[in-house]
C-alpha cells in the first residue's frame, strides 16, 4: 500500500514571473480595500481607489491628445503598463488573479518568466491602445481583463507548439475560443462599450508575440 502524497497548494509551484504579477495585483487590491474600509488611518485614504483609477486608467481623450499633440509624457505612457493592476473592487481582482495564475504558469514554464512579463506588458498595452482608438470620449479602461486575454493568446499559441498530441492542442485552442466567444457574447448582451476590443486586441497580440 503506497502513501498518498500531500497535495501542495497550487500557488506554491508558480514561476517567479507569475508570482510577480499575482503579488502586484493582490498587493494593490489589499491596500485599496483596506483604505476603503477605514483600516488605513491616513488622510484621504478612503479616496485612494478613485485616485489610483484616475492615475493609471486609460481614456481615449488622453490618448487622442497624445496622438494629436505628438507628446507622450512618461507618466501617461506608464498607464499602458499599470492599468491592469488596479481594479474597481476585490471580486474583479480575485478573478483576474486566479485566471492569471493558471494561464501564466503554463506560459512561464514554456518560455520563461522574463519573456512572459514582456509579452504581458506589450500585449496589455496593445489592448489599451486599441481601446483608446475607438472608445467614445469619457470612457475608461481599468483592470486586468486585457492582461488575462493577453496570456490566453500566449497560451493558445504556445499550446500549438508544445502540446504532445492533437487532442491537447484542440483542447487548448478550445479554451481560448471559449474565452473569446464568451467575451464577445457578453459585450453583445450587456454592452460595455469598447472594452471588449481591448481584450480581443490583447489576445491577438499575446498570440503573435508568443
Q: What is the pLDDT of residues 90-116, one digit of tens each?
A: 999 999 999 999 899 989 999 999 999
Classify residue 175: in a domain, yes or no. Answer: yes
- How many other CB atoms are found less than 10 A from the CB of residue 180? 19
Classify residue 178: in a domain, yes or no. Answer: yes
Domain coverage including residue 153: 16-209
Q: What is the pTM of this model?
A: 0.86
User: pLDDT digit string (tens) for 23-41?
Assistant: 999 999 999 999 888 777 7
Classify residue 189: in a domain, yes or no. Answer: yes
Classify residue 25: in a domain, yes or no. Answer: yes
Least confident of 47-61, 94-108, 162-176, 189-203: 162-176
Classify residue 8: in a domain, yes or no. Answer: no
Report yes or no: 100 and 151 within 8 Å, Cβ to Cβ: yes
Give, in order, the Cα–Cα distances in Å from 35 to each of 48, 51, 144. Answer: 7, 12, 20
Q: DSSP secondary-structure letter at 143?
A: S
CATH number of the domain that residue 89 is part of: 1.20.1540.10
Domain total in the chain: 1
Amino acid at each position: 500500500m503506497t502513501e498518498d502524497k500531500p497535495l501542495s497548494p497550487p500557488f506554491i509551484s508558480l514561476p517567479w514571473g507569475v508570482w510577480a504579477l499575482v503579488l502586484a495585483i493582490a498587493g494593490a487590491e489589499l491596500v485599496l480595500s483596506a483604505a476603503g474600509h477605514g483600516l488605513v488611518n491616513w488622510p484621504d485614504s478612503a479616496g485612494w481607489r478613485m485616485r489610483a483609477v484616475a492615475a493609471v486608467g486609460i481614456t481615449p481623450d488622453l490618448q487622442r491628445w497624445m496622438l494629436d499633440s505628438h507628446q507622450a509624457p512618461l507618466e501617461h505612457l506608464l498607464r499602458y503598463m499599470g492599468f491592469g493592476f488596479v481594479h474597481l473592487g476585490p471580486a474583479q481582482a480575485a478573478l483576474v488573479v486566479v485566471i492569471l495564475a493558471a494561464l501564466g504558469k503554463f506560459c512561464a514554464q514554456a518560455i520563461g518568466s522574463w519573456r512572459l512579463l514582456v509579452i504581458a506588458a506589450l500585449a496589455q498595452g496593445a489592448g489599451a491602445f486599441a481601446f483608446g482608438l475607438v472608445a467614445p470620449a469619457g470612457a475608461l479602461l481599468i483592470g486586468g481583463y486585457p492582461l488575462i486575454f493577453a496570456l490566453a493568446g500566449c497560451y493558445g499559441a504556445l499550446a500549438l507548439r508544445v502540446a504532445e498530441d492533437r487532442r491537447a492542442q484542440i483542447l487548448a485552442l478550445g479554451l481560448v475560443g471559449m474565452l473569446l466567444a464568451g467575451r464577445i457574447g457578453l459585450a453583445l448582451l450587456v454592452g460595455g462599450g469598447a472594452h471588449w476590443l481591448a481584450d480581443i486586441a490583447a489576445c491577438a497580440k499575446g498570440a503573435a508575440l508568443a
